[in-house]
């Protein structure tokens, strides 16, 4: 039922120049607005009403014949439908309705498809705008009034409106998704986004996500150009309203397109007063800031002063009383963009891993030259108060020594330490030396340690041919890696959600990530902890400085020190506790496998264990007894190599000869086993655990480190190799998309690997901005394909040949047995009728990557060390049962000695193979039962404006 007009009026008079238009207008309002004729003179005057029982609450439309008036020209509105927001028109008449889908069906069924706008999307429509026969824009909304925050929920929504009015009643309906309900239940605001401080790769992705997430939720989006400087200067040049197309193509661009600048004026109250005035003039009531701790500190101070700022603006006559009342509160949210990764309360900041990727790539190149000439290289990286980049680069590239501000030694001690380690490495046959220096490196007396200082020590004391490489701003440049694009996007979406949910009493949030989960943290507390690190360093309290870093930082530092010592120092454990630990690769090769093997072996050496490598999987062990003890020099440089140097295959123990495998386990007296691999490795762990009752050789701690590009191993949300795969696929898609953009009218259908898992396709859609991704979990319906092709038609029509308009569609290889990538491309080309075309692109095994990404290298190290620690912890428990006739495989403690080491939400956890295999796995699909990334699909679709249809 259509309710009274929501903009405060109860009646409207419309004048028409002809009798024919009077009849057409009458039909329009009775048909679409469900108004009833209250009185009429069919040739000159008609009064329509909403039919409410009480006249004071009814909506009346009076249509009057007046031949002197001219009909409104709506040509511009119709032509610019895709570029102009009809909601901004002040003359728009808006009705409240509880049947917006029914009206939407009528609009499409009556040929008004090209003359309507729907917000926030067809997925969850809240507002519908059409043009009446007189050229007026007429709106229908679910909300009670224009600023309502709680529109009524319909019991069901037709997500694909019927094409005929007769079928409206029978059109398929589904309950509103949780994502759509969130959109309906949140208020509408005018949201601005700005970038501040140093630029970082991924900032553009963050801005894009904020803009489109705001528009998708029915809000207005603005960008503040040039950071706080733009806020102080104000005006349309610096504070610009953004539309959907404003951020097209930004995902693949480095830096920040809206600019950033330092602003001394904003540090003073006078400058912040100007900023407040300019925000109010633009109608903005929420601000999202992407920057470092300084930028976020300024944002929170701005919010805390807001009440006094607007009061002063009112008292000085710079704003009206009406604006003062309307803008009582400013909601602030921070997303952290910083290559240093120096913000507390989050594992990673936007741009940090992109910067780390530049560093690792440069050191990989330097490594070859250093090895060729037997040289030493001193590599200086950024990080004034934080050594994260130097530490992680040290782990990822197996550097000989690192110097970071959090852990300095005395002026003499660091020289002795470095020379001792480098000398031991050289004495064991290593030809090259890499020392990484953070720009903020200091000695214990706070004396700076420069690259030249390090070079002098290496030359004078060790006589090494040494060079310095200062990477400088190369670390900031270039496009963001896949992780940063996805992180920035998810944080941007969460930031919009946060400001919409914030109340005047809600502390300003900072959006971060813990392990694998996007989270909110109080901005003030995060900034306070971050600043305390620098204060602790300045006070020479280095123990406190490290303690204030996140636990993962401390863990990585301990790991680097352990694997760097390898077999060069006295082992930490007594001989009685030293074990024989084997490592094996099972399944398809994945980036990070070699890194895991290297870290496992070197950590074992530092502890006193003997590491063994089983080559060519279980079949290699059974057929060729391919077991080798690991030599330190033999694995030097292994961590930065792609593929699997040990060799790998998909054969499980039962498919080879499990009895013979048990024999070799017994022969070499293995006390523990680390399996690195995908679903076949998962299956192998299950088989070994079940065989324990018959083969005592398997009664040892066994741990699986998931490694597969498909990321389909149950018990974890992250597998080694998936990040390397995403980076390779992203680079491939960026190139293909560039080709499509150059052609101006082309779509590429890209075949994506992943088996029965749509993880890679979904994440790549998010990272590349693909129009759609088809995954095995959903399949491909003809209705959805038709909707996606319609979307392509609309997109190409609105682009009008502009740049950055290449389109991608991603298809998982197992998404459909019938619709191949080529078939989909052919259908798109056929349906385009010559207006555009579609081609296929198959990256194939390019997706497995070459050199593993820094994320896969460092996570492999962390997981491998954890795996060895797990074996050390569980060995005493199961050892006493090794030859026992009373071995109880159902005992919970014993069952937990065979586990998967995985990431679950915000935690790193060991999960028993029995629990995961028996209760959490879909064996037929080779997948976990719960798809942890399912919500990401809704975000990816929302940010490209895709209409998602329900599965029938």
Positions annotated as catalytic residues are 340
Q: Is 339 annotated as a binding residue?
A: yes
Please name the helix (run of DSSP H) or strand (run of DSSP E) that holds residue 750, with its range, or none.
strand 746-752
Which residue's structure tokens are 């950033």? 260
Q: Is 802 annotated as a binding residue?
A: no
Q: Using an 8 Å Cβ cutoff, are 837 and 747 in contact?
A: yes
CA 150 to chain centre: 29
Q: Is 51 annotated as a binding residue?
A: no
Q: Is 593 annotated as a binding residue?
A: no
Cβ neighbours around 163 below 10 Å, total: 13
Q: Is 382 annotated as a binding residue?
A: yes
Q: Is 845 annotated as a binding residue?
A: yes
Distance CA 819, CA 34 (A): 43
What strand order describes the sheet that includes 190-195? 239-242, 220-224, 190-195, 286-291, 331-336, 509-514, 517-522
Q: Is 340 annotated as a binding residue?
A: yes
Task: Work out the angle between the directed axes of helices 854-879 and 593-607 (0-180°, nearest 10).
Answer: 50
Distance CA 943, CA 123 (A): 12
Q: Is 711 annotated as a binding residue?
A: yes
164, burial (CB in 10 Å: exposed 0-12, middle 13-18, buried 19+): exposed
Q: Is 467 annotated as a binding residue?
A: yes
Q: Is 869 annotated as a binding residue?
A: no
Q: Using an 8 Å Cβ cutoff, are 237 and 225 in contact?
A: yes
Distance CA 3, CA 670 (A): 77
How does strand 45-49 pair with strand 60-65?
A: antiparallel
Q: Is 275 annotated as a binding residue?
A: no
Q: Is 708 annotated as a binding residue?
A: yes
Q: Is 709 annotated as a binding residue?
A: yes
* Residues shown for the chain: 952
Q: Is 712 annotated as a binding residue?
A: yes
* Three-state DSSP state, 82: coil
Q: Is 631 annotated as a binding residue?
A: no
Q: What are phi and psi of 132, to 5 degrees?
A: -80, 170
819, burial (CB in 10 Å: exposed 0-12, middle 13-18, buried 19+): middle
Tokens for 374?
Answer: 């037997």
Tokens for 447?
Answer: 């004396």
Q: Is 461 annotated as a binding residue?
A: no
Q: Using an 8 Å Cβ cutoff, are 888 and 878 in contact?
A: no
Q: Is 607 annotated as a binding residue?
A: no
Cα–Cα nearest to 198, from 343, 354, 342, 337: 337
Q: What is the 3-state secondary structure (H, E, C) of 414-461?
A: HHHHHHHHHHHHHHCCCCCEEEEEECCCECCCCCECCHHHHHHHHHHH
First-to-final CA distance of the chain: 29
Q: Is 20 annotated as a binding residue?
A: no
Distance CA 597, CA 677 (A): 11
Q: Is 754 annotated as a binding residue?
A: yes
Q: Is 475 annotated as a binding residue?
A: yes
Q: Is 753 annotated as a binding residue?
A: yes
Q: Is 473 annotated as a binding residue?
A: yes
Cα–Cα nearest to 337, from 216, 193, 440, 215: 193
CA max distance for the chain = 106
166, burial (CB in 10 Å: exposed 0-12, middle 13-18, buried 19+): exposed
Q: Is 431 annotated as a binding residue?
A: no
Q: Is 650 annotated as a binding residue?
A: yes
Distance CA 621, CA 511 (A): 48
CA 296 to chain centre: 21
Q: What angle do CA 237, 241, 245 make, to 5 degrees?
A: 115
Q: Using an 8 Å Cβ cutoff, are 870 and 701 in contact?
A: yes
Q: Is 439 annotated as a binding residue?
A: yes
Q: Is 710 annotated as a binding residue?
A: yes
Q: Is 476 annotated as a binding residue?
A: yes
Which residue's structure tokens are 């002040």? 90
State the binding site for beta-D-fructose 2,6-bisphosphate: 650, 708-712, 746, 753-755, 813, 839, 845-848, 926
State the binding site for substrate: 338-340, 375, 382-384, 439, 467, 473-476
State the binding site: 198, 262-263, 292-295, 338-340, 375, 382-384, 439, 467, 473-476, 650, 708-712, 746, 753-755, 813, 839, 845-848, 926
State the binding site for ATP: 198, 262-263, 292-295
State the binding site for Mg(2+): 293
């Amino acid at each position: 039922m259509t309710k009274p007009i929501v903009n405060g009026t109860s009646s409207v008079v419309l004048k028409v120049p002809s009798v024919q238009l009077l009849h057409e207008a009458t039909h329009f309002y009775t048909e679409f607005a469900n108004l009833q004729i209250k009185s009429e003179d069919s040739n000159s005057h008609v009064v329509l009403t909403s039919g409410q029982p009480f006249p004071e609450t009814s909506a009346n439309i009076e249509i009057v014949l007046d031949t002197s008036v001219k009909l409104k020209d709506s040509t511009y509105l119709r032509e610019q439908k895709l570029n102009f927001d009809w909601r901004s028109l002040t003359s728009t008449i808006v009705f409240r309705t509880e049947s917006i889908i029914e009206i939407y069906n009528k609009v499409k069924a009556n040929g008004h498809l090209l003359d309507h706008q729907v917000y926030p999307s067809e997925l969850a429509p809240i507002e519908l705008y059409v043009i009446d026969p007189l050229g007026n824009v007429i709106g229908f909304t679910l909300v009670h009034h224009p600023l309502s925050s709680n529109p009524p929920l319909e019991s069901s929504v037709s997500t694909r409106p019927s094409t005929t009015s007769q079928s409206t009643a029978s059109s398929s309906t589904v309950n509103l998704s949780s994502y759509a309900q969130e959109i309906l239940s949140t208020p509408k605001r005018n949201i601005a986004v700005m970038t501040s401080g140093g630029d970082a790769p991924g900032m553009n992705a963050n801005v894009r996500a904020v803009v489109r997430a705001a528009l998708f939720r029915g809000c207005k989006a603005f960008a503040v150009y040039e950071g706080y400087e733009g806020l102080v200067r104000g005006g349309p040049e610096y504070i610009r309203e953004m539309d959907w197309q404003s951020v097209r193509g930004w995902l693949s661009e480095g830096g920040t397109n809206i600019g950033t600048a330092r602003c001394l004026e904003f540090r003073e109250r006078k400058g912040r007063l100007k900023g407040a005035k300019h925000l109010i003039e633009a109608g903005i009531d929420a601000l999202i800031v992407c920057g470092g701790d300084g930028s976020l500190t300024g944002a929170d101070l701005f919010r805390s002063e807001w009440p006094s700022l607007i009061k002063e603006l009112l008292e000085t006559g710079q704003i009206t009383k009406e604006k003062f009342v309307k803008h009582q509160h400013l909601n602030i949210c921070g997303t952290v963009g910083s290559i240093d990764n120096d913000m507390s309360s989050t594992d990673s900041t936007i741009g940090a891993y992109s910067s780390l990727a530049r560093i690792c790539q440069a050191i990989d190149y330097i490594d070859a030259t250093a090895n060729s000439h037997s040289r030493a290289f001193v590599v200086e990286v950024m990080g004034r108060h934080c050594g994260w980049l130097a530490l992680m680069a040290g782990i990822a590239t197996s550097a000989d020594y690192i110097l970071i501000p959090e852990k300095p030694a005395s002026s003499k001690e660091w020289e002795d330490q470095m020379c001792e380690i480098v000398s031991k490495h050289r004495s064991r046959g290593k030809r090259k030396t890499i020392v990484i220096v953070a720009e903020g490196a200091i000695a214990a007396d706070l004396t700076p340690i420069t690259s030249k200082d390090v070079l002098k020590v290496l030359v004078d004391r060790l006589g090494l041919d040494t060079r310095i490489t200062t990477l400088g701003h190369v670390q900031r440049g270039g496009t963001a890696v896949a992780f940063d694009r996805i992180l920035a996007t998810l944080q941007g979406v969460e930031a919009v959600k946060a400001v919409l949910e914030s109340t005047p009493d809600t502390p300003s949030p900072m959006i971060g990530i813990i392990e694998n989960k996007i989270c909110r943290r109080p901005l003030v507390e995060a900034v306070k902890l971050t600043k305390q690190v620098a204060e602790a360093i300045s006070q020479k309290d280095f123990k406190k400085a490290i303690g204030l870093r996140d636990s993962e930082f401390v863990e990585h530092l301990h790991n680097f020190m352990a694997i760097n010592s390898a077999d060069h120092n006295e082992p930490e454990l007594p001989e009685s506790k030293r074990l024989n630990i084997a490592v094996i690769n099972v399944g398809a090769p994945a980036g990070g496998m070699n890194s895991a093997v290297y870290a496992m072996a070197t950590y074992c050496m530092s502890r006193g264990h003997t590491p063994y490598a089983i080559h060519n999987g279980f079949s290699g062990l059974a057929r060729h007894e391919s077991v080798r003890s690991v030599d330190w020099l033999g694995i030097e440089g292994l961590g930065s190599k792609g593929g699997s140097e040990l060799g790998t295959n998909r054969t499980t123990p039962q498919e080879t000869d499990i009895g013979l495998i048990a024999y070799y386990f017994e022969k070499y007296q293995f006390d523990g086993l680390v399996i690195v691999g995908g679903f076949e490795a998962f299956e192998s762990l299950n088989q070994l655990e079940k065989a324990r009752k018959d083969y005592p050789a398997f009664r040892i701690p066994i741990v699986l480190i998931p490694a597969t590009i498909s990321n389909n191993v149950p018990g974890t949300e992250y597998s080694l190799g998936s990040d390397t795969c995403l980076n390779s696929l992203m680079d491939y898609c960026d190139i293909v998309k560039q080709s499509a953009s150059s052609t101006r009218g082309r779509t590429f259908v890209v075949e994506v690997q992943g088996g029965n898992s749509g993880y890679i396709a979904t994440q790549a859609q998010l990272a590349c901005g693909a129009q759609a991704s088809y995954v095995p979990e959903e399949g491909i319906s003809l209705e959805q394909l038709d909707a996606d092709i319609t979307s392509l038609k609309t997109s190409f029509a609105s682009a009008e040949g502009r740049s950055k308009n290449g389109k991608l569609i991603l298809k998982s290889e197992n998404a459909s047995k019938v619709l191949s990538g080529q078939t989909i491309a052919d259908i798109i080309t056929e349906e385009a009728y010559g207006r555009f075309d579609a081609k296929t692109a198959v990256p194939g095994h390019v997706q497995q990557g070459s050199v593993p990404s820094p994320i896969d290298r460092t996570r492999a190290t962390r997981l491998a060390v954890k795996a060895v620690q797990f074996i050390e912890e569980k060995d005493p428990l199961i050892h006493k049962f090794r030859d026992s006739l009373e071995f109880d495989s159902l005992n919970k403690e014993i069952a937990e000695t065979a586990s998967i080491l995985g990431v679950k939400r915000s935690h790193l956890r060991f999960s028993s193979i029995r629990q995961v295999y028996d209760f959490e796995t879909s064996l037929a699909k080779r997948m976990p039962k719960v798809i942890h990334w399912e919500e990401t699909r809704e975000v990816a679709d929302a940010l490209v404006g895709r209409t998602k249809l329900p599965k029938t």
